[in-house]
Amino acid sequence: MKILKTLTIAFLLTAIAPVSAQTADEILNNYFENTGGIENWKAIKGIQFEGKVNFQGMELPVEMIQTKDGKSMAKASFQGQNFYQNVFDGETLWSTNQMTMQEEKSDAEATGNYKNEINDFLSPFIDYKQNGYTVELIGKETIEGTETYKIKLVKEPVMVDGKEEQDISFHYFDTENFVPIVVEQEVKSGPAAGMVSQTKLSDYQEVSGLYFPFSILEGAKGQPGGQAITITNIILNPEVDDAIFAFPVTETNPVIKE
Amino acid sequence: MKTFFFTFLTALSSLTFLQAQENSLKGKELFGNMKARHIGPALMSGRINDIENHPTNARILYVGAAGGGVWKSGDGGATFAPIFDKHAQSIGVVKLDPKNPDEVIWVGTGETWTRNSVSVGNGLYKSTDGGNNWKEIPGFENSERIASIVINPNNTDEVFVGVLGALWSDSEDRGVYKTTDGGKTWNKILYIGPSTGVSDVLMDPKNPNVLFASMWQFRRTAWGFNSGGENSAIYKSTDSGKTWNKLINNLPLGKLGRIGIAMAPSDSKIIYAVIETGEKSTNGLWRSNDSGNSWEHLNNDFGLTVRPFYFSRITVDPKNPDIVLKGGLTGSISRDGGKTFKNLGNMHSDIHDVVLDINNSDIIYSGTDGGVYRSWNGGSTFEIVENLPLSQFYHISVDNAEPYNVYGGLQDNGCWYGPSSAPGGVTARDWNSVGYGDGFRVLRHPTKNIIYSEMQGAANVWRYDVDRNRTTTVQPQPKKGDPELRFNWNAPMAVSNFVPDRFYMGSQFLHRSDDMGDSWTIISPDLTTNDKSKQDQANSGGLSVDNSGAEKHTTIFTIAESSLDQNIIWVGTDDGNVQLTTDGGKTWTNLTENLVGIPKNTWVYHIEASVHGKGTAYAVFEGHTTGDMKPYALKTSDYGKTWKTIISEDIDSKAFVRNVQEDYVNEDLLFLGTELGLYVTIDGGKNWSEFTNNMPPVAVHFIDLQKRTNDLVMGTHGRGVIIIDDISPLRQLTPEIMNKDVHFFETKPFTMTEDSDFSGSFGAETQFVGENKNTAAQIVYYLKKRHTFGKMEIEIQDIQGNKITTLTPGKSKGINIISWNFMTTAPKMAQAKTLAFSGFTALRVPAGKYKVVLTKGNETYSHDIEIKYDEKSVTTLEQRNEQEALTRKLYDMVEDLAYMVYEINETQTKATEIIENYPKGKKDSQKLYNALENLRKDLVITTGDNYVASAEPELREKMGDLYSNVASNFNKVSGASKANFELISEDFSKAKKRYETIMNKEGKKFNSFLEKNNIEKPEIQSKEAFLKRG
């Protein structure tokens, strides 16, 4: 009889929960609450993702590290070579040139924009008010066949080819469980400018009490294909030597005084 | 207790079941991630209604298309992206908030250049986030067409909206509306009457209390147009719209037609007006230098007076009040304040709007019947924007080629055909012109490489011999004793399903030719109402006679020969008749009286003769030319004796219907082409769902279902050709399936196509490129619920259950479609200084059956699919076996080499460790290291980079290239490859021998040193572990 009661209550709760969440803040609170608690999210200092990307029949191992103090590194390995992407030590953003296999710095605008991106460690919604961001509940929308809350997030402006533009993204939270399942953002420059990038999140799994999406599919809205990243392991607060983020000083990369 | 628990669960699940059944047969989730693709074309683009530039950022430009939505450019018009794809696609006006132009955008729907073929809008919309999200502003639901939006630059919550209103009926929704709270509440502040709408509204930005409005009395019917009346006039208010005065000083009075007005941005006292008066002495351009108090008549040239209902836009240069541009057949420009004009440079004719760059008046954007054009030299030469797929099809058809072609005719842009897929995507150069003027129906001869096409009103019907490049005109013509033939502007034609050379056309009579149009026989009486009062087109137009032929009425509009019996032909007319012959035209039955719920004389837009029964047919009706926008579609199963509606309340009440397409297999699966998008039913019309996946609510004028591929091909009037590939999963969808957690749909065997993919995307950087049909295997499954928590994976296995590859699963609720490109995995390449690009070549599977295995949490679901070789292949099975065997051999050889290099690398690492730490072992270790290094240098590249600083290829590169060459080829293994294989096998054998020798000699000494000193041997993984992926 006790089980029945508990079940009934659980059933009622699920039925009621979506109705009661009416503001963006309530939805975000539910999200953090359902995925481990906001204080636990805030306690993380660094994170390491291990996973694989499927590329033309090859599964390439990838590794990503981010720290709360704004450093990051992503690495893919292929034929024993390491390709670095989005490596950032707080000042310099660099990656591997695939022709020469040498490290190259990103342009100033990209670096500036990245600095504003990487300061949203784990989620831009953590302490978003302190960061000066705004959120707005646009309404309910069916995406991936599923009813979601569509939340608009406005962050620090980005620079696009010399002009400042607003940084707006849309986050779709499943009304049933309050986790984001899709993120959309307009592509501001490059050949896909004007199109909307769409990131689909799924395969949420628990890591030390927190829930992370283990499957990330990035593509362009309305376009076929996309690139899937499958996470195989997440390490919270990994031990990281800061040297890995620094732009390497080598024979071919002498220190250039700035 | 246990029982109770079980009962509870059962009750719960049956509850879900009931609920699911109720909701299951409609809704967006039905389609999951099944999605439409757009193939354009964009090379002729489509009609533009309005262009709006950003007040401060010259890079940003918005285009409101007549039938194709709102598009934004951030690069000065080089490329555009659609931003209004969830709402009506017929656009009247786009306006940016002057204070906050990056965020606040207003869109008034409903095009305003009121030709016969215009679509309809459904209200006013506002975005407060740069066009990402739109809210409909209540109060304008019945506005039909919004011509003007002006915003007070000092207080942008104060907005004025000019509603032109309904084209085909009276409407009290017309007039000027005002809000002072950003759109929450509105007052109608200027209203003249139910037949007089607002053409333009102006505001003096220096004194926002000063407003001008031009009012226009007009009406269109299916058979005529009337522009002009006593109510047309210019009004002025100086108190923000509280009171209005009709301007009469020096201006023409009496019956006036359309009036376009514009204010010079650099001097708001200067107002230009083009006034339609019908009198040469007063027609055309007027100018006021004192804010409308007095006026002077300046110009009545053709360019200033041509077709005022179609061209009344005036634009004044932002800096120079004397530079004036006007839309028109060619567009006109004056540099002397409107006294004299010259034509704008060559571009598509019919210019509806022109705007100048905010900083540089040399740059001019022009919106035409054929897209947006851009001038860099003040309007002398124009180039087309190649990025706007706004083509406006009246009709489409398909053939059975591989890939199949799509044929169709366009508003003011002739007739075309192009492939549904092309190497690199469907580009401008893939389309072929097969007709001039306004194009309508284009049909392919069933057996010969001959195309029939037509221009407006069957003025020309062409029979085009594609192979010989010869054109003959073959339209039916009256012979002695015949009355004058009345052809619709969009004259119907049909080819026979039984007699290949048979060709039908409809005037008021049905014409049949059995020799491809060389000679014609009339096989019916006049099938229309022949209402003479609807045949006076010579006097159509109102103040300016406009007898283009577009209003020809009381004509046949649709012809449907049954595919089951050539003697059964259905005919529908534009004045409401449904007629049937069952004896090849000897006798006709008028079925109109049997129709249910269709107002008298409602246009019969399409009849679909069913393949599911000789007496079965669908007919769709639309009454928009009387102001009746309701959807109508009927079905009969008894030769038209009785009809029943197949419309449900799911369909937008203003989505009038132009086409219906039945499925050839499942009689309950139907597709409805409406003015506001595509609807689908899987239960014969009880429930309908709007298809919105990459499918805007654009007017769908015609639908065809390609029989071989089951692709649904739509001719839209504003977004070109849109295709939903393979709709067969919808055939299989039932309530039972929708209640399964996972269900795989049956698919036909997939062909591994061997077509060359040479394309060359030269010049396509800023060109629209149509999306191709995916030629990979399509794995289609239904998920009852979106997968969000826990693991979900899909892998392909051979029939014995060995893993071949993994795929990225779709996780949507509803139908998911994922692709498999027939590839297994790429070989693991030996490590080197540089990349071996041959390592990107994966192994292709042989034809046969494969398992798709879906793992979701603890559950596993499996489904078999079949892969076929290309029937068009030139390769025999024996040659294929040889190719596959050699590919496999080379694949293994590449991995053997990779493992050998790995062993060498590990051994060298250990040797280095000894050299550095054990002086006693240094000599032997160094010997081993050096011997291995000499070998390694012959095996892999050890210097250079991945581009032009690359080193000479070594064994890895040579072996890899041969592997890649043989593996990616579909043809028999060439003699050269076989000889090369011998050479490489020999080289590899030698290398293996060398390795063995080294390890037996230097390696032995090294190993014994390790053993003696109790040092661990190099940690070398087993080959199996080394090759393990992921």
Domains in chain B, ordered, with CATH? 391-554 (2.120.10.30), 877-1027 (no CATH)
Q: Would the CB atoms of B774 and A223 count as touching at under 8 Å?
A: no
Chain B neighbors of A165, CB-CB under 8 A: 102
Mutation choice for A interface testing from B105, B126, B132 by most A CBs within 10 A = B132
Inter-helix orientation angle B1004-1012/B922-939, to 10°: 140
Range of the domain at A227: 22-245
Residue of B372, B498, B211, B57 whose CA lies nearest to A166: B57
pLDDT at residue B177 in the model: 98
Query: Would you state the structure tokens that stand for residue B483, as one six-digit string?
Result: 């009355």
Q: What is the amino acid identity at position B811?
A: K
Under 8 Å between Cβ of B199 and B216: yes
Q: Count of residues for chain B?
A: 1030
Q: Would the CB atoms of A202 and B824 count as touching at under 8 Å?
A: no
Query: Would you state the structure tokens that stand for residue B24, as one six-digit string?
Result: 């299951």
Q: Are strands B711-716 and B721-724 parallel, antiparallel or unpaired?
A: antiparallel
- CATH label of the domain that carries residue A81: 2.50.20.10
Q: Would the CB atoms of B786 and A174 count as touching at under 8 Å?
A: yes
- pLDDT band (50, 70, 90) for residue A89: very high
3-state helix, strand, coil in chain B (%, to 5): 15, 35, 50
Chain B touched by A12 (CB under 8 Å):
no
Q: Would the CB atoms of A79 and B839 count as touching at under 8 Å?
A: yes
Query: CB-hemisphere CA count at 13 Å for B51?
Result: 30
Rounded to the nearest angstrom, the minimum Cα separation between B344 and chain A is 30
Query: Would you state the structure tokens that stand for residue B1011, as one six-digit string?
Result: 């053993």
Mean pLDDT for each consecutive 10-residue tract of chain B (1030 residues)? 30 32 61 92 97 96 98 95 97 98 96 97 95 95 98 98 98 98 97 98 98 98 96 98 96 96 98 97 97 97 96 97 98 97 97 98 98 97 97 98 97 96 94 95 97 95 97 96 96 97 98 98 98 93 88 97 98 98 98 98 98 98 97 98 97 97 97 98 95 96 97 98 97 90 95 86 89 95 94 96 93 92 92 87 95 95 97 94 96 96 96 94 95 95 77 90 95 96 97 97 94 92 82
Query: Would you state the structure tokens that stand for residue B365, as one six-digit string?
Result: 């954007």
3-state helix, strand, coil in chain A (%, to 5): 20, 45, 35
| For residue A215, pLDDT beyond 80 | yes
Instruction: Convert B766-804 into a string of H (helix), E (strand) and C (coil).
Output: CCCCECCCCCCEEEEEEECCCCCECCEEEEEEECCCCEE
Under 8 Å between Cβ of A94 and A106: yes
Q: Would the CB atoms of A170 and B786 count as touching at under 8 Å?
A: no
SS3 B441: coil
| For residue A12, pLDDT beyond 90 | no
Give the closest of A56, A100, A166 to B826, CB-based. Answer: A56
Mutation choice for B interface testing from A59, A78, A79 by most B CBs within 10 A = A79
Output B577-585 pairs: Cβ under 8 A, ≥24 positions apart. Answer: B577/B527, B577/B528, B577/B529, B577/B604, B578/B604, B578/B607, B578/B619, B578/B640, B579/B524, B579/B527, B580/B639, B580/B640, B581/B523, B581/B524, B582/B639, B584/B523, B585/B510, B585/B512, B585/B523, B585/B524
Chain B neighbors of A56, CB-CB under 8 A: 823, 826, 840, 842
Inter-helix orientation angle B877-917/B1004-1012, to 10°: 50
Residue of B403, B408, B433 whose CA lies nearest to B420: B403
Under 8 Å between Cβ of B134 and B100: no
Q: What angle do CA B946, B950, B956 make, to 5 degrees?
A: 85
pLDDT at residue B24 in the model: 56
- Cα(B994)–Cα(B1000) distance, rounded to whole angstroms? 10
- Cα(B324)–Cα(B343) distance, rounded to whole angstroms? 12
pLDDT at residue A195 in the model: 86
Chain B touched by A4 (CB under 8 Å):
yes
Q: What's this model's pTM, rounded to 2 decimal places?
A: 0.92
Q: Would the CB atoms of B73 and A181 count as touching at under 8 Å?
A: no
Q: Would the CB atoms of A194 and B81 count as touching at under 8 Å?
A: yes
Residue A183 located in a structural domain: yes
Chain A neighbors of B4, CB-CB under 8 A: 1, 4
SS3 B260: strand
* Phi–psi pair at A101, nearest 5 degrees: 60, 20
Q: Would the CB atoms of A181 and B786 count as touching at under 8 Å?
A: yes
- The ipTM (two decimal places) reads 0.86
Under 8 Å between Cβ of B211 and B198: no
Query: CB-hemisphere CA count at 13 Å for A242?
Result: 7
Chain B neighbors of A193, CB-CB under 8 A: 74-75, 79, 81
- Cα(B347)–Cα(B117) distance, rounded to whole angstroms? 22
Residue A3 located in a structural domain: no
Residue A115 located in a structural domain: yes
pLDDT at residue B546 in the model: 87
Taking CA atoms, B33 is separated from A128, A211, A225, B182, in Å, by: 32, 26, 12, 37
Residue of A205, A142, A133 whose CA lies nearest to A176: A142
Under 8 Å between Cβ of B286 and B271: no
Q: Which of residues 121-150 of A touch B (CB under 8 A)?
A: 138, 142, 144-146, 150
Find the DSSP H helices in B532-623: none
Instruction: Please give the residue of chain B at the shortest CA–CA distance from A170.
Output: B132
Query: Would you state the structure tokens that stand for residue B666, as one six-digit string?
Result: 């499942």
Instruction: Please give the residue of chain B at the shortest CA–CA distance from A178.
Output: B788
Q: How many residue pairs from chains A and B have C-beta atoms closer than 8 A?
A: 152
Chain B neighbors of A222, CB-CB under 8 A: 35, 694
Give the closest of A61, A79, A181 to B835, CB-based. Answer: A79
Kind plus residue range of the DSSP H or E element containing A29: helix A24-34
Residue A226 located in a structural domain: yes
Residue A10 located in a structural domain: no
- Cα(B9)–Cα(B19) distance, rounded to whole angstroms? 15
Under 8 Å between Cβ of B787 and B811: yes
Under 8 Å between Cβ of B667 and B359: no
Residue A14 located in a structural domain: no
Give the closest of A138, A144, A214 to B786, CB-based. Answer: A144
Chain B touched by A20 (CB under 8 Å):
no
- Cα(B579)–Cα(B584) distance, rounded to whole angstroms? 12
Residue A42 located in a structural domain: yes
Residue linked to tokens 């030590």: A89
Q: Which of residues 49-78 of A touch B (CB under 8 A)?
A: 52, 54, 56-59, 61, 78
Q: What angle do CA A200, A203, A207 make, to 5 degrees?
A: 120
Under 8 Å between Cβ of B334 and B296: no
Rounded to the nearest angstrom, the minimum Cα separation between A77 and chain B is 11
Under 8 Å between Cβ of B263 and B270: yes
Chain B neighbors of A59, CB-CB under 8 A: 806, 825, 1029-1030
Q: Are strands B450-454 and B146-151 parallel, antiparallel or unpaired?
A: unpaired
- Cα(B493)–Cα(B440) distance, rounded to whole angstroms? 10
Give the closest of B130, B806, B842 to A56, CB-based. Answer: B842
Peptide bond into A18 cis (omega under 30): no
Query: Would you state the structure tokens that stand for residue B101, as one six-digit string?
Result: 């132009």
| Domain total in chain A | 1
Taking CA atoms, B818 is separated from A22, A41, B34, B795, in Å, by: 35, 34, 10, 12
Residue A6 located in a structural domain: no
Q: Would the CB atoms of A168 and B129 count as touching at under 8 Å?
A: yes
Chain B touched by A252 (CB under 8 Å):
no
Give the closest of A145, A163, A215 to B32, CB-based. Answer: A145
Query: Would you state the structure tokens that stand for residue B192, as one six-digit string?
Result: 């003249």
Query: Would you state the structure tokens that stand for residue B302, as one six-digit string?
Result: 């053709």
- Cα(A114)–Cα(A106) distance, rounded to whole angstroms? 10
SS3 B721: strand
List pLDDT tens digits, range A36-50.
Answer: 999 999 999 999 999
Query: Would you state the structure tokens that stand for residue B959, as one six-digit string?
Result: 């072996």
Q: Could you tell me which residues are beta bridge partners of residue A95?
A: A104
Rounded to the nearest angstrom, the minimum Cα separation between B205 and chain A is 27
